[in-house]
Amino acid sequence: MTEFLTIGEPLVVLVAQEIDLPLEQVQHFTKYVAGAELNVAIGLARLGHQALYLSEVGDDPFGNFIIDEADKAGIDTSLLTKTLSAATGFYIKQNVSHGDPQVAYFRKNSAASQLTAFDIDSVSTDRIKIAHLSGIFPALSKTALETFKTLNTKLNADHVLTVFDTNLRPALWQDEEQMIQTINCLAKESQIILPGINEGEILTGSRSPEQIADFYLSQSELTHTVIVKLGAEGAFVKTKSSEPFMVRGFKVKKIVDTVGAGDGFAVGLESALLEGKSLHEAVVRACAVGALAVQNQGDNDGYPTPDQLREFYQRNGVL
């Protein structure tokens, strides 16, 4: 039974095989699927939840690869369509021994950016319990922004729990002012907000997790929970109806790739909420999946199965 929905831009990522070389010097790459929202759908499916992914790819080898990989992952691809009028977006990523990798995107006017509000008409929310939304898709184009708003309005009208990951991508916006104004406006329409601490500082002008949370809780009657992601330190959680709390992060032996950690956080949170776990338990799982993600190459290769999650909990003393 499909219980989870997300909309986004699927991408192919070509990851350098050579370590610590500038991208222009790399000769060999390994191909993976990527895209923040697709990462989340893959993670949910890996934990046993039926995820519906709404998007569009080009009728090209990269698009076919994405659809094949999504099918293999167990994602509902009935709303993942192909078009002849645009190509599938992709990017190349550096392989580094430490720090964040260099990336170069090739996604302008991608197939996903051309999804229209008309495409939302075919979406049924009858069995959807949670919808994952992010700040990336509405940044792709004016069309994508309107499509995002149409879907968000439909989800709220149908009483679906909406989770909004701010996911800032400055390069996709006209300027920082437009990005801040639009993302904060979109956040008003979701019930749970997931800003990172660095994103929160850009969006609210404060680096205090509690002040970031207060900003989003006060700007909308709809928003009832804000979870500020603090990286290795864990997460700060505040709701309108209970005392705020911290969840500590998990220590990892080696960070291989930080890309996909934030999406892994959403995977952990939303999968636990779908299973009826408490908010505290859900944030603990969010931190756990994020920690697993950074220990693996590829944007979503580190997301666990239920058995792998149980093993991680046992190793880290989580009851």
Fill in the amino acid letter for 290.
Answer: G
Q: State the first-to-last Cα distance of the chain, in angstroms, to the nearest integer.
A: 29
- Reading phi first (left if > 0) and then psi (alpha if -120 to 50, else beta), residue 102 is in beta
**Inter-residue contact 132 to 28 (CB < 8 Å):** no
In one letter, which amino acid is 216? Y
300, 301, 306, 311 alpha-carbon torsion, rounded to 10°: -120
Q: Which two three-digit tokens encode residue 79?
A: 């709303």
State the Cα–Cα distance between residues 176 and 240, nearest whole angstrom: 29
CA distances from 221 to 151, 209, 218, 228, 244 (A): 19, 20, 7, 19, 18
Contact 227, 269 (CB under 8 A): yes
263 has catalytic annotation: yes
The tokens describing 93, both together, are 């990523």
Between strands 29-34 and 11-19, the pairing is antiparallel
Q: Exactly one of 119, 165, 257, 263 is catalytic; which is it?
A: 263
Alpha-carbon distance 299 to 41, whole Å? 12
CB 91 within 8 A of CB 104: yes
Burial string for 252-274 (b: 16+ CB within 10 Å, else e) reads: eeebbbebbbbbbbbbbbbbbbb
Of the candidates 106, 110, 57, the one whose C-alpha atom is nearest the C-alpha of residue 80 is 57
Q: How far apart are CA 70 and CA 38, in angstroms?
A: 8
- What residues are annotated to the active site? 263
